């Protein structure tokens, strides 16, 4: 089903070209390629366009201006080169090409190009960052030296180590430092030393040589083994002007193997001198401090009084305070006695018994006035009540009814007072209120709206 759908799918030229471009670039991101340069062209843009061929095939190649400037040689037609680049497809023409990043003539130039490429790659991954560098211990108990067991390198390291700090434990891990398989032996030696975990420092050493001689120390596997080592690594490969990938990854680079021993070990004579100097300085400082403490003690002793003398002073001060306190208490008592006498006189002058008698007389007078006022008020109220009762009796509807009048209202739930005959109909029931009792009547005939006189 899927194959049928795929065979029926119709691509556009640009769509198919774009998919092929993605497929090629993802499948071959970076490749190494060797061949002969032909059709070389460098237009005004500064980019280099050429073809790379062998006996049976040809492929287009390009190197952009920035990469071309960094080449140590000028590409020419007929030159055989080896380069690294990424495969791409040029969509406008539908042709594939390789975009070169590095290029070198066959031979030593290739080794240098590979060295620069690996250096750039590992630097991008952070293997050279200072944050990953481990500090060397001040005085390692054991140092593992990974190098060739024969030659001047190991003798120089042992000689310098014995001169700087005799008695330190040096472990020689013999390996090949040149030729096929040398990088694997060095890698295995690093792993073995880390597994034993008895050394505090690793020195990887070798004398000088050409780029081909130092190829083992430019191995990516060795670089990653040095980076993964939990024991600090000193790289002492070649002379001072020689640089290898191992130098960049190591925790510390020494310009020569002898310098590696100097960096790994302090000089014992210098340490003894520093200890003696520190001991002398400490002795002088302690002596000065002791003299200062003695002088301070003498000063405190001279300022310290006899306890008996101190007690006599305190006793005299206590007696003085006692006398002053007694005088103050007596003065306060005298002042309180005078104040009490004055309050007694004032209290006698304002005797409560006399004031109570005056208040009783005032109370009797006020009671009499209150009784008179209440009697007068009660009489006035009674007269006003009688007058209002008379007026109310004259205006009361009952009095009107007693004089022969009546009140007529509707015989329903509203019970409205009927004052106009037009508000009733013949046959309506009405209620007539009399002075005594009430009548329920029915309207049989009604008259006009004239008022009854």
| pLDDT of 9 over the 60 cut | yes
pLDDT in tens, 277-319: 899 999 999 999 999 998 888 888 777 766 777 787 788 888 8
7 falls in which pLDDT band (50, 70, 90)? low
User: Greater confidence, 376 or 95?
Assistant: 376
| pLDDT of 254 over the 80 cut | yes
pLDDT in tens, 102-141: 888 765 456 676 787 788 888 888 998 989 999 999 889 9
- What lies within 8 Å, CB to CB, of 341 at 6+ separation is none
| pLDDT of 404 over the 60 cut | yes
Q: What ranges in 307-351 are assigned the alpha helix state H?
A: 307-349
pLDDT in tens, 312-342: 778 888 888 988 899 899 889 988 988 888 8
| pLDDT of 448 over the 70 cut | no
Tell which residue, 23, 27, 17, 60, has the closest CA to residue 41. 60
Residue 452 has a pLDDT of: 53
Residue 1 has a pLDDT of: 46
Residue 105 has a pLDDT of: 77
| φ, ψ for residue 323, nearest 5 deg | -65, -40
85 SS3 class: strand
Which pTM was predicted? 0.46
Report the distance separating Cα 288 and Cα 278, nearest Å.
15
């Amino acid at each position: 089903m899927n194959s049928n759908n795929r065979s029926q799918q119709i691509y556009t030229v640009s769509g198919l070209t774009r998919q092929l471009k993605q497929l090629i670039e993802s499948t071959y991101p970076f490749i190494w390629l060797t061949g002969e340069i032909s059709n070389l062209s460098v237009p005004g843009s500064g980019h280099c366009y050429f073809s790379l061929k062998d006996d049976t095939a040809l492929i287009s190649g390009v190197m952009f201006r920035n990469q071309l400037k960094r080449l140590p040689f000028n590409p020419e037609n007929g030159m055989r080169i080896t380069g690294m680049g990424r495969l791409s497809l040029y969509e406008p023409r539908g042709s594939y090409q390789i975009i070169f990043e590095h290029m070198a003539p066959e031979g030593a130039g290739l080794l240098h190009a590979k060295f620069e490429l690996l250096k750039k790659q590992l630097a991008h991954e952070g293997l050279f960052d200072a944050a990953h560098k481990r500090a060397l211990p001040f005085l390692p108990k054991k140092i593992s030296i990974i190098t060739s067991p024969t030659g001047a390198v190991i003798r120089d390291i042992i000689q310098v180590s014995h001169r700087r700090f005799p008695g330190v434990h040096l472990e020689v891990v013999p390996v090949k430092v040149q030729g096929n398989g040398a990088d694997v032996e060095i890698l295995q030696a690093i792993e073995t030393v880390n597994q034993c975990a008895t050394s505090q420092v690793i020195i990887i050493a070798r004398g000088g040589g050409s780029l081909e001689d130092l190829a083992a120390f430019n191995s990516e596997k060795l670089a990653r083994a040095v980076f993964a080592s939990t024991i600090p690594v000193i790289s002492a490969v070649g002379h001072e002007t020689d640089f290898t990938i191992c130098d960049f990854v190591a925790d510390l680079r020494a310009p020569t193997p002898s310098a590696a021993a100097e960096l790994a070990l302090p000089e014992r004579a210098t340490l003894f001198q520093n200890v003696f100097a520190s001991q002398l300085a400490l002795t002088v400082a302690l002596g000065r401090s002791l003299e200062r403490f003695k002088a301070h003690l003498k000063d405190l002793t001279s300022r310290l009084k006899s306890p008996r003398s101190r007690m006599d002073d305190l006793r005299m001060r206590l007696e003085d305070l006692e006398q002053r306190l007694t005088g103050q208490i007596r003065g306060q008592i005298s002042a309180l006695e005078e104040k009490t006498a004055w309050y007694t006189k004032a209290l006698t002058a304002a005797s409560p018994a006399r004031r109570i008698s005056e208040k009783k007389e005032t109370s009797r007078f006020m009671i009499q006035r209150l009784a008179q006022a209440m009697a007068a008020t009660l009489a006035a109220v009674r007269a006003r009540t009688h007058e209002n009762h008379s007026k109310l009796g004259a205006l009361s509807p009952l009095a009107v009814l007693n004089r022969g009048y009546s009140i007529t209202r509707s015989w329903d739930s509203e019970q409205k007072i009927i004052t106009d005959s037009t508000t009733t109909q013949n046959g309506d029931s009405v209620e007539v209120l009399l002075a005594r009792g009430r009548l329920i009547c029915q309207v049989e005939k009604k008259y006009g709206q004239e008022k009854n006189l």
